[in-house]
Amino acid sequence: MNYKNLFVGVDIGGTKISIVFFKRNKIIKKIKLKTNSLFGPKNAEIIIENLLDYKKNIKRIGIATTGIIENGKWSVLNKKIIGNFKNFPLTEHIKKKINKPVFAFGDTEAAALGELKFGAGKKFSDFFYITISTGVGGSMVINKKPFKKIANLVGAFGHMVIKQNGKLCGCGRRGCIEAYASGNAIDKILKKTNKKNISTKNMLINYKDTKWSMKIISEATTYIAEGIVNVNTLTGIRNFIIGGSIGLSHNFFREIIKNTKKITKQNILIIKAGLKNDSEVFGCLAKS
Amino acid sequence: MNYKNLFVGVDIGGTKISIVFFKRNKIIKKIKLKTNSLFGPKNAEIIIENLLDYKKNIKRIGIATTGIIENGKWSVLNKKIIGNFKNFPLTEHIKKKINKPVFAFGDTEAAALGELKFGAGKKFSDFFYITISTGVGGSMVINKKPFKKIANLVGAFGHMVIKQNGKLCGCGRRGCIEAYASGNAIDKILKKTNKKNISTKNMLINYKDTKWSMKIISEATTYIAEGIVNVNTLTGIRNFIIGGSIGLSHNFFREIIKNTKKITKQNILIIKAGLKNDSEVFGCLAKS
């Protein structure tokens, strides 16, 4: 690679790691890798391995990650997503090996920022970004600024309890949105039916609009819709941007809109993320 | 009354109207009246009747009210609280008869503002105020400022759904906090038991800590606790101030704390409103 002074945005999700090289606001190169979902810190090694060859091209690295991040230290919110660990020095560890400045923040906050600066959020003063992927996350933008949470919980939309005494969630509470509407949750439902060998992704691509898949999708999206209406009720926010591989799939997205309309008369706008699966890395770029 | 240039703060709740005369920051006189709970606009007449004698003493009037208020126009959020009406010109109507400037806003927003400027909220940069009375309401303060909701929903904390497909709420949704933890909701539960003639207030005063009353209180406060943890999860706010006649009663308040600790390990502080039942009228004063 001939480019110099590249900014690298890294997104560590529950199933995929995305490493994206930016020259100003343009993407030069993308690397997609599988997440080590058993032990989170392992992913730092995977990222380092893939960056070493490009050391001389890199100016700065920004990381968006699932879980909780405080002062560069990485911990787990839902231990079913990426293993169980606490206070791993993510930024320090990568900086030591690559020798460039590194920062890290939550993936949903990153995605919301990406959509605000470069995506579907450009036209809104206030919106709520929701990602539906391996887990479920969400982040608020108020007056064109990401809402600074006082606690450093990341993507905690998914851990709003919608069904008291409902399913046990990986976070320890019962009845969270994530326990019903995440990729992990839907995979589990599929395994309990006679569609054992079908994954959520597989279902969304190959079995869309079949009666049995629509039943599963309708149930999951009802939880997302209840969450959207709860956020609207509590904050008054009317604009919602949906991202994440599951959220962006056509029939899942359509059902979110349908089920939201069923439970509220409020004028709520729900649209897809403008940057699709790159919202998080564009968010890193926006923060750099 | 010999005083001149008094500010009048009025609080229209689901069961009581409170009219408070202020000279600077001191209360000079209080009038307590029963709310006409069948038809909300009737309460404007009740207020006017009680203010006419003091016309010459009054400089300005501020009203805190249950329901939805937009540009001085008053509508209902939960029609079981104060009747069913829409866009009643509350401020205009009172101004016409008393001939002084009148403003109006939501009662929970008012209470939060009162606590922020004169009460238990003085020491916090961020807090969430919750009132538990005939209905259940809540309002956020962020960076020492009441959080300006984009929609003019008032006290919508009570309409967060905690139990999907739960009890039908007066707002039209199912499973809202208000459907389980409000004075109205607990009255209804009491009427269905063999304690038919006992009201919530009566129970809290005369039957506190009996086995049957604690069972009812424990169930209701579990919903408040789930709501508190949801707000903390979504916004990161750690300080909660509880007001309203039910919320302020000793054993109800104690159970909120106990049940919140049961469902979260987060460090959450829950305290009583410093101004007790006057948070709303002090909020009017703060806004004047």
Give yes or no: residues B127 and B234 share one domain.
yes
Give yes or no: residues B283 and B223 share one domain.
no
Nearest-by-Cβ selection for A156 from B151, B233, B263: B233
Q: Which domain holds residue A164?
A: 123-272
For B199-242, write each residue's pLDDT tens digit.
999 999 999 889 999 999 999 999 999 999 999 988 888 999 99
Taking the C-alpha atoms of residue B98 and residue B48, their distance in angstroms, rounded to an integer, is 7
Nearest-by-Cβ selection for A236 from B150, B166, B266: B150
Region of poorest pLDDT, from A75-84, A160-169, B256-265, B268-277: A75-84
- Nearest-Cα distance to chain A for B230, in Å, is 5
Could you give the number of structural domains in chain A? 2
Task: Note whether A234 contacts B157, CB cutoff 8 Å.
Answer: yes
Q: Is the pLDDT of residue B101 over 50?
A: yes
pLDDT, residue B149, reads 63
Q: What is the CATH number of the domain that holds A259?
A: 3.30.420.40
Q: Is the pLDDT of residue B88 over 80?
A: yes
Residues from chain B that touch A264, judged by Cβ atoms under 8 A, are 173
- Please give the share of chain B, as a percent, with pLDDT higher than 70: 97
Taking the C-alpha atoms of residue B74 and residue A23, their distance in angstroms, rounded to an integer, is 54
Give yes or no: residues B68 and B195 share one domain.
no
- Whether A64 and A9 have beta carbons less than 8 Å apart is answered as yes
Higher pLDDT, B261 or A194: B261
- B183 vs A80, B89, B132, B153, B252, CA distance in Å? 40, 28, 7, 20, 12
| Residue B236 included in any domain | yes
Task: Note whether B233 contacts A159, CB cutoff 8 Å.
Answer: yes
C-alpha A7: how far from its chain's center? 21
- Whether B152 and B68 have beta carbons less than 8 Å apart is answered as yes
| Residue A118 included in any domain | no
Give yes or no: residues A93 and A194 share one domain.
no
Task: Note whether B229 contacts A164, CB cutoff 8 Å.
Answer: no
Tell me how many degrees the CA angle B233-B238-B241 measures, rounded to the nearest 5: 115
Nearest-by-Cβ selection for B164 from A147, A163, A232: A163
Give yes or no: residues B258 and B129 share one domain.
yes
For chain A (288 residues), the mean pLDDT of every run of 10, in chain order, is: 94 94 95 92 95 96 92 87 92 96 94 96 95 91 79 70 94 93 95 88 91 96 96 90 96 97 92 96 97
For A156-214, write each residue's pLDDT tens digit.
899 999 999 999 998 888 999 999 999 999 999 999 988 888 999 999 999 988 999 99
| Residue A230 included in any domain | yes
pLDDT, residue A3, reads 94
For B159-197, write each residue's pLDDT tens digit.
999 999 999 998 888 999 999 999 999 999 999 988 888
Pairing of strands A136-142, A145-146: antiparallel
Predicted confidence band at B20 (pLDDT cuts at 50, 70, 90)?
very high
- Strand, coil or helix: A94: helix
- Nearest-Cα distance to chain A for B125, in Å, is 10
Return the number of CB contacts < 8 Å for A and B.
Answer: 82
Give yes or no: residues A283 and A262 share one domain.
no
How large is the ipTM?
A: 0.82
- B279 vs A69, B20, B111, B247, CA distance in Å? 37, 11, 4, 13
pLDDT, residue B153, reads 54
pLDDT, residue B155, reads 55
| Residue A23 included in any domain | yes
Give yes or no: residues B174 and B263 share one domain.
yes
pLDDT, residue A154, reads 46
